[in-house]
Every structure is written in C-alpha cells, then in structure tokens.
Amino acid sequence: MTATTDGSAGAVDPRAAEAARTTDTPPARGQDREAAARAAQRATDHLLARQDAAGWWKGDLETNVTMDAEDLLLRQFLGIGDEKTTRAAAVYIRGEQREDGTWATFYGGPGELSTTIEAYVALRLAGDRPEDPHMARASAWIRAHGGIADARVFTRIWLALFGWWKWEDLPEVPPELNLLPSWFPLNIYAFGCWARQTIVPLSIVSALRPVRPAPFALTELHTDPARPNPPKPLAPPTGWDGIFQRIDKALHVYHRFAPRLLRGTAIDTAARWIVERQENDGCWGGIQPPAVYSLIALHLLGYDLRHPVMRAGLESLDRFTSWREDGSRMIEACQSPVWDTCLATIALADAGLAPDHPALVKAVDWMLDEEITKKGDWAVRRPRLAPGGWAFEFHNDTYPDIDDTAEVILALRRVRHPEPARVEAAVRRAARWTVGMQSRNGAWGAFDADNTSPFPNRLPFCDFGEVIDPPSADVTAHVVEFLGYEGKAEHPSTRRGIDWLLAEQDVDGGWFGRWGVNYLYGTASVVPALTAAGLPGSHPALRRAVAWVESVQNEDGGWGEDLRSYRERGWIGRGVSTASQTAWALISLLAAGEEDTEAVRRGIAWLVATQHEDGTWDEPYYTGTGFPWDFSINYHLYRQVFPLTALGRYLNGEPVPAGLPAPAAGEG
C-alpha cells in the first residue's frame, strides 16, 4: 500500500515499486546536500545549546492526564494537597480536554473511558462543578460508554480509596504473591519490572482496603446509581480467563479468612521489598506509578509523612513535575536523561561534530558516572552474571535497561575520550552483561531475560497494558547493532539474534516496534542492525524492508504512522508525516544503501522544509510507547535527535565506530 497525507491508502504492486526504485534517476544531489547541511548545522547548534552543564540532555516525556489526576488523588489521600498545586494541575488537565468532553491517551486519539473518569474526578477535586459545561459533557460521555463500572481496574482502585467504589467489587491482589518462590508461575518476578513494582505495593493496599471519605459523590458517573456494578457473566471455565475469574472469586473468600500470621508475613515481606528498592533520590525505579503506590502502601503501614522514606519519596515526585509558562504543571511518568543523552550523542557525532568535541566528552563523562555496577532484580534469572549497563532514568540502579545499554555503547564508541581505558572497561562490563541477558529464543527483552510467562496477562487485575517483558525486535536489533560494531558479527549470540530478527519480519517487509510507533520504528532499528552485522543491502529481507518503507512514503515526502496501527493492520505505515518517523524511514533506507534514491531525496527535502529557523521541528504526535496503544509517549527530544541523525548519515554516510573484541557469552 502507499500512504497519502490524508491517511488514505491504495494498493501498489511491490514489483512495480522495486522497478521504480531501480530505474529512477534522481536529480543532482549538490543542491539537496547544501540544504541538508544547513539544516544539520542548525539542528546541531540547537542541540548543543540544550545540553545541561553536567553533560546530559533531557526532553519532556509527555504521556496523558492520568499522571496529573493521580498525583492530585494521592495528595488528597495523604492530606497534603495545596491550592497552588491543585490549581496548576487543573489548568493543565482542562487544557487537554477534547471538544466532545473526553480525554485521550495520545494526540489526536479517541476519547478513553478511564482517562476521562480520572481527569473528571481530579477536576472535581479542584472545584469544578458537575453542571459546568465541560464537566457535563464529560459525565454524559462517561455514562454513554458504560460509566465507572466499565473503567479499568486501576481506575476503580483509585476510586475505592475514597469510597467511590467497593473494594469487594475489585479483583483481589493478595500480598501472599510476595511469598511465592521464583520458580512458581505467578511469582512477582514473572511480571515485567514496571508491573512488579506496582503490584507489590498494591497487594498491601488491596489487603488493607482503606477508605478515606470523599468530599463529594460521583453518582453522575454511573449509568444506574442504584446498581453501580451490575454482575457480569463469567467466561467459560474451559478457558484461562474463566479459570482465573473463578480463582479470583476464591481469593475473595480467602480474604475474609486469611490466616493472620501468613497475611502479616506477606505484608511485611512486601514492605521490606519496597523499602529495599527505594532509589537514592527517593523514587522507585525512576518511574512515577510505583512511587505513588509505594507511598500509599507504606503510609497505610504506619510510615508518617516525616519518615525519611516517605519524605524522600514525596520529594522525588516533585522532580517529575514540569511547570509551564501558562502556570500549569504537567507530571512526567518518568524521565529519560540516559536515553536522551546517548541518542543526542549519536546524532551529533553522526552529523559530523568532532569526536573529541567538549560537549561529547562531557556527555560521555556523565554517562560513565551513570553506569550501574550492582545487581538488581534481573539477577533472579541470571544470578551468576556480573552487573553492568545503564538505566533509562537519573536514578534506577535496580533495573538497568538493555535497550539503553546498547545505545549507550554505540554512543561511547563515537567519542574520542581522553581516558579510553575507562571507556573500554565500562563497555566491556556492559557488553558482557547484555549478552548474558539474552533470552532462550535468541532475542532480548528490555529489562529481564525470559520474562515470557503467559499467566500474568490472564489475571483479572491486569487489564491495563503489558505486564510481561518478552523480547522485542527493536531491543534485539539495538543489541545486534552494537555487537556488529564491536566486531562480533559472527559471535553465536549475535547470530542467534539475527536469526530471530529475520524470522520476525512482517509479511509486508517491516518489523513491529515495541517501544516506538510502530513498524517505522521497528524497521529503523532492525535494518541498521542487520547491515552492521554484515548483511548486504541486497539481502532479500533488506530488499523487502526497503520496498515497504518506500511504499508507505506520504505524498509530501515524509513518513508517519498512527498509533492505531497497534490495533488495525490497515494503519501500519499510515499517518501524518512527523519529524521523528520521517527520520526513522530515512535511517532504514540509508542503512540499506539507498542514499541516491528519489524516496530519500524527498524525505530529506521534507525535513529541510519543515525545520524552523532555530533548528527545531514541531511534533505534537506521539511516536513513543510504554505499552503499545494503552500507554503512549511523546518524547520531546525525538523530534530533534532523530532528524539530525538522518541528516548526518545522509551527508556523511553510515557510521563505523571503532570496535573492541566483544565479550564471551554469559548466561544467555
């Protein structure tokens, strides 16, 4: 199919597209290159000006208003709300409301029930009245879409804290989960790290079932206030959904008769687990949701607000706040300095900045200081593996990220640092750890190895996004890419990764994007990896990828892909052109040797034409993901680093960092 700027699609013969690719004679590149060079210089100047004095870069990480709503609900629950914070949050939440009264989870997306309910409740806390026009529109839409009863479990847990929903009408999250051994199918390490960090504190909250009386009722959000939660039929007992629903009913009975000693032991174990994983800056895992639930759980166990653990946790939440010029405040779900810094370093180096430029050296100094050298929860599956690598955030020693680690290594290799031995030692530790985190199928997940149990997703309380961390094409590709640059294309771990990637190619020619939207991101990750590992541009998999990328180019010369591609195949490769997704398409084509094609020339021209004089690009569309479709991210630095990377590779060719011998395979 070929995409147009209005999102329409039409069929195209792939053989015709291939013929056009091979027979086109693009115009002379001189003028194109001059314009691209000017754009790259402007983007370079802008990015250098944004670097922090300490050496890092960080753009805002924008998600949706549930972060802001839940922050207000937390403050209401703990009794620490203040007028300034509430007013600023309300301004931001109101500003994100759509004309139909709803709130979406991404720019241009459809209204989403749970998000709209949480935003509505937060505005009620801020003093907005149900009869206000914007509130009336929201409540009418909520009722028309099933009301509170059809909201996700996590939304109804928040409502239960204030008596707006009954605890007994929620799925059980028994704290005894924390006592299960690591070999048991539903132990806490069977969940992805982000789910694990949330479920452990929620198990305490679920056991204690607190209620802080609400300042108002929410009858206007029920389809029938007299029967707010009408019973729903159980799934057949022959399937896993039906089995787990019946297990949940049994756990409700168990809740009433749980042995006091066993339950107390389980809660104490959970509390110790939470406290032991608090980071030095007070947060938990560097992300906001676990911090919120951990603070509630510990507070219920008697930790007062002056306790050092609570005080540090509350102070850490303030660092997730981004204040706006209009007086509003946006809450980031997490912060991405390591990810942003390694991507900015790669972009600047590929754009031609001198490898010993002070900005790059300073960035490397900062990244080296962020190296993780202690074991975390990943060691449950890899107990003999030595630590190494980098996390995503400022502070997160428990969960280094395989994706970040791979990209940091690629960034370090582009810089001529005055202490090469220091860089080499860090790379070797990180590479050894990364290879050791390879899953049994030859691929890599983001945080854990072999985190692929089919059971967690079946639990009734796991109805929001991904709760496991299986291997993905984009993470695997980044690992294969750095191993290729390290001179280990023939290493058994690399070959297994390549074989897995080739087997995962979509029938249309692209690769699924787990952590970026979507096939454009996955393909931009895999193609450079395969070429770095030695596959020639003529390889059939790469030819299919090139044909697909070219077939979905928009009429304006750019590329875009809507988040709806996660749910509907018809949206794959379709969407309004964006700076980051256009750059991803170009990165794919350039890696496959397509620098002299019409598609690349038009894509470069689109980047040049849409750049502002200050070197920036606009991008309101969300091109990052936390959970595909369910939790979307607008990384504000993506619109800067990826276009600069694409421009740099167009002007200077593919990067060839100097490599070192890669490590021996670990426990992967």
In a domain, 50, yes or no: yes
Residue where a domain terminates, one of 276, 298, 331: 331
Q: Using CA atoms, how far apart are residues 70 and 66, in angstroms rounded to an integer?
A: 6
pLDDT in tens, 128-179: 999 999 999 999 999 999 999 999 999 999 999 999 999 999 999 999 999 9
Same domain membership, residue 475 and residue 394: yes
Is-contact 429 386, C-beta < 8 A?
Answer: yes
Read off the amino acid at residue 539. H
Same domain membership, residue 378 and residue 325: no
Cross-strand bridge partners of residue 451: 469
Phi, psi of 632 (to 5 degrees): -110, 155
Same domain membership, residue 495 and residue 605: yes
The 3 state secondary structure assigned to 201-245 is HHHHHHHHCCCCCCCCCCHHHCCCCCCCCCCCCCCCCCCHHHHHH
pLDDT higher than 90, residue 269? yes
Percent share of the chain, pLDDT over 70: 94
Q: Using CA atoms, how far apart are residues 643 and 354, in angstroms rounded to an integer?
A: 19
Which two structure tokens, joined as six digits, stand for 532? Answer: 């770095």
pLDDT in tens, 109-120: 999 999 999 999
Is the sign of the CA dihedral 107, 112, 117, 120 positive or negative? Answer: positive
Same domain membership, residue 559 and residue 434: yes
Give the pLDDT confidence score for residue 29 in this predicted structure.
Answer: 60
pLDDT higher than 70, residue 664? no
Q: In the Cβ-directed half-sphere of 34, how many Cα atoms lie within 13 Å?
A: 3
Q: Mean of the pLDDT values across residues 344-361?
A: 97
Give the pLDDT confidence score for residue 600 in this predicted structure.
Answer: 97
Q: Using CA atoms, how far apart are residues 487 and 492, in angstroms rounded to an integer?
A: 13
In a domain, 157, yes or no: yes
Same domain membership, residue 525 and residue 497: yes
pLDDT in tens, 11-51: 333 333 333 333 344 444 677 899 999 999 999 999 999 99
pLDDT in tens, 590-612: 999 999 999 999 999 999 999 99
Please report where in the chains the tokens 């607000």 appear, as a residue.
Answer: 305
Lowest mean pLDDT among 78-87, 357-366, 606-615: 78-87
Three-state secondary-structure class, residue 13: coil
Is-contact 375 310, C-beta < 8 A?
Answer: no
Same domain membership, residue 183 and residue 327: yes
Is-contact 216 222, C-beta < 8 A?
Answer: no
Residue-averaged pLDDT of the chain = 92
Q: Mean of the pLDDT values across residues 412-434?
A: 97
| 512 vs 242, residue with greater confidence | 512
pLDDT tier at 195, thresholds 50, 70, 90: very high
Give the pLDDT confidence score for residue 466 in this predicted structure.
Answer: 86
* Non-local CB neighbours of 656 within 8 Å, separated by 6+ positions: 485
pLDDT higher than 70, residue 1? no
Residues found in the chain = 668
In a domain, 13, yes or no: no
pLDDT higher than 60, residue 319? yes
Is-contact 622 106, C-beta < 8 A?
Answer: yes
pLDDT higher than 80, residue 456? yes
The 3 state secondary structure assigned to 408-421 is HHHHHCCCCCCCHH
Same domain membership, residue 269 and residue 213: yes
Tally of structural domains, the chain: 2
In a domain, 457, yes or no: no
Same domain membership, residue 390 and residue 297: no
Read off the amino acid at residue 101. G
Is the sign of the CA dihedral 271, 275, 277, 279 positive or negative? Answer: positive
Q: Using CA atoms, how far apart are residues 622 and 533, in angstroms rounded to an integer?
A: 31
CATH for 420: 1.50.10.20
pLDDT tier at 659, thresholds 50, 70, 90: very low
Q: Using CA atoms, how far apart are residues 633 and 64, in angstroms rounded to an integer?
A: 8
Same domain membership, residue 290 and residue 210: yes
Give the pLDDT confidence score for residue 232 in this predicted structure.
Answer: 84
Q: Mind telling me the catalytic residues?
A: 403
Phi, psi of 10 (to 5 degrees): -140, 155
Per DSSP, helices labelled H in 301-369 are: 308-318, 337-350, 358-369
537 by Cβ neighbours in 10 Å (0-12 / 13-18 / 19+) ranks as middle
Q: Which long-range contacts (CB under 8 A, 24 or more apart) does 566-573 make?
A: 566/517, 566/518, 566/625, 566/628, 566/629, 567/629, 570/9, 572/506, 572/508, 572/510, 572/518, 572/519, 573/1, 573/3, 573/508, 573/510, 573/519, 573/520, 573/548
In a domain, 130, yes or no: yes
Read off the amino acid at residue 473. A
Q: Using CA atoms, how far apart are residues 410 and 359, in angstroms rounded to an integer?
A: 16
Cross-strand bridge partners of residue 71: none
Give the pLDDT confidence score for residue 657 in this predicted structure.
Answer: 60
Q: Which long-range contacts (CB under 8 A, 24 or more apart) does 220-225 make?
A: 220/130, 220/139, 220/143, 221/117, 221/120, 221/139, 221/142, 221/143, 221/147, 221/148, 222/143, 222/147, 222/148, 222/149, 223/143, 223/146, 223/147, 223/149
Q: Using CA atoms, how far apart are residues 93 and 621, in angstroms rounded to an integer?
A: 18
Is-contact 291 316, C-beta < 8 A?
Answer: yes
In a domain, 187, yes or no: yes
Percent share of the chain, pLDDT over 90: 84
pLDDT in tens, 470-527: 999 999 999 999 999 999 999 999 999 999 999 999 999 999 999 999 999 999 999 9
Q: Using CA atoms, how far apart are residues 588 and 545, in angstroms rounded to an integer?
A: 8
Please report where in the chains the tokens 């200081």 appear, as a residue.
Answer: 369
Same domain membership, residue 362 and residue 481: yes
In a domain, 5, yes or no: no
Q: Using CA atoms, how far apart are residues 628 and 517, in angstroms rounded to an integer?
A: 8
Give the pLDDT confidence score for residue 461 in this predicted structure.
Answer: 84
Question: Residue 16: how many CB atoms within 10 A of its CB?
Answer: 11
Same domain membership, residue 307 and residue 408: no
Residue where a domain terminates, one of 283, 302, 331: 331
Which two structure tokens, joined as six digits, stand for 49? Answer: 């000006």
Is-contact 114 151, C-beta < 8 A?
Answer: yes
Residue where a domain terminates, one of 331, 362, 390: 331
- Quote the domain boundaries for residue 560: 36-59+336-452+468-652
Same domain membership, residue 628 and residue 575: yes
Q: Mean of the pLDDT values across residues 265-289?
A: 93
In a domain, 657, yes or no: no
Give the pLDDT confidence score for residue 26 in this predicted structure.
Answer: 43
